[in-house]
Amino acid sequence: MNDGFSLISRQKLLTLYSAMLRCRSIAEQLGNPMKKANSVLGQEAAAVGAAIDLLPHDTVVADLWPDAALNAINPTVSIAPAISVASRSTAGDNNGGGITVLFSSSRRSWHSSWLKTLALAAGQNLPFLFVSLSGPDVDQGIDGAAVLPMGSKGYSLPLIAVDGNDVVAVYRVASEAIAHARKGHGPTLIDCRRSIPGDPLKSMKKYLLDKGLQPAAL
């Protein structure tokens, strides 16, 4: 977590932390069924950083978490039941000019539906933001980013690696990627790596306290 100067407002920083707290509370209330590879527990920074500023005509696809967790981050955004539904809507421009955010865990990031959608978005320059929640089991390139499987025609889209425990870093990268998509420049893939153990909530709380801000409690 970078403790230096931030262009993000003090109110936004507090809002990010509050949304992470709500996600954590919901995940803990669900109990043991969520204690598995696709749990929202520990992934709050990636979820909040990528989804908090989405608009009502945007769509989120997340088979990782219950709708309640996503609604806790951004109650105005639409939630698609499946990747295929979101892909058809975006490709057909039925989402009113919005963008689609697609989350996937490291163990599922390269399954066929993810790859098919990624190829579609890259090939048709669609307004998609792909967010891969990666861990140390994912192959790495020399820059620390996940190695992107290439199709016969290749995939042409930015791939950005970011610390998945750092909500401020995810928020900055996601904001740029969302603006990129809204301007018609196509999709971006953000690789939210959590290769270093840590709790994103504790990291963000320390960041706020170092800035003289008092984080709220549930």
Annotation: CATH topology of 10-210? Rossmann fold (3.40.50)
**Three-state DSSP class for residue 61:** strand
Question: Which strand ranges, in their side-by-side order, compose the sheet holding 59-61?
Answer: 78-80, 59-61, 100-105, 128-134, 188-193, 159-163
Asked whether the predicted pLDDT for residue 202 surpasses 60, the reply is yes
Q: How far apart are CA 45 and CA 201, in angstroms?
A: 8
Higher pLDDT, 14 or 3: 14
Q: 114-163, pLDDT tens digit by residue?
A: 778 888 888 888 999 999 886 544 444 434 344 454 544 566 688 899 99
Higher pLDDT, 85 or 153: 85
Asked whether the predicted pLDDT for residue 4 surpasses 80, the reply is no
**Looking up tokens 């039925």, which residue turns up?**
94
DSSP 33: G
Percent of the chain whose pLDDT exceeds 90: 40
Q: How far apart are CA 105 and CA 115, in angstroms?
A: 13
Cβ-contact 68, 32 below 8 angstroms: no
Secondary element (H or E) of residue 59: strand 59-61
Asked whether the predicted pLDDT for residue 95 surpasses 60, the reply is no
How do beta strands 100-105 and 78-80 pair? unpaired
Q: How far apart are CA 162 and CA 164, in angstroms?
A: 6
Quote the pLDDT of residue 114: 77
For the chain, the maximum distance between any two Cα atoms, rounded to a whole number of angstroms, is 52
Asked whether the predicted pLDDT for residue 88 surpasses 70, the reply is no
**Three-state DSSP class for residue 125:** coil
Q: Where are the domains of the chain?
A: 10-210
